[in-house]
Amino acid sequence: MSKQFEQLELLYKQILYISKEIKKYIDKTDYDEVLSQANQKSQLVLRANLAKKTIELTAEEENVIENLRKQILENEEINIKLMSKLRDSTIVELKALNNQTKLTNKYEQNEEPQEGTICDYTSD
């Protein structure tokens, strides 16, 4: 195994690790950290793609990279499902809040009732 392959393998392992970390942060609802980790992962993916283009891999090395890639994809699918559920629940909460706000605004209008009655029998 060449030094270049070892570096490529390390990049894929780092991507896998960050993907697992993202799931942990989603579970903890630490979305700032999710975004931070996703940015780091994006940089690693760019580096891995560039490195893969420049390296000639043997069949064995290709299998190792393919296995790592499959693990990464599995974790990413889990993360996408978790974020989709979160998005859906957030949409429902926002709609409920929006409806509540509309009702509150409608009934908070402090208009003074008009003086008098419907039938005004006064004559001038």
Global pTM? 0.73
Q: Which helix (H) or strand (E) holds 112?
A: none
Complete domains list, the chain, with CATH: 3-93 (1.20.58)
- Give, for all 124 residues of the chain, the pLDDT tens digit: 688 999 999 999 999 999 999 999 999 989 899 999 999 999 999 999 999 999 898 999 999 999 999 999 999 999 999 999 988 888 988 888 888 888 777 777 655 555 656 665 566 5
Note the pLDDT of residue 105.
78
Structure tokens at 61: 């090395």
How far apart, in whole angstroms, are the C-alpha atoms of residue 41 and residue 68?
14
Helices and strands of the chain, counted as H and E runs? 3, 0
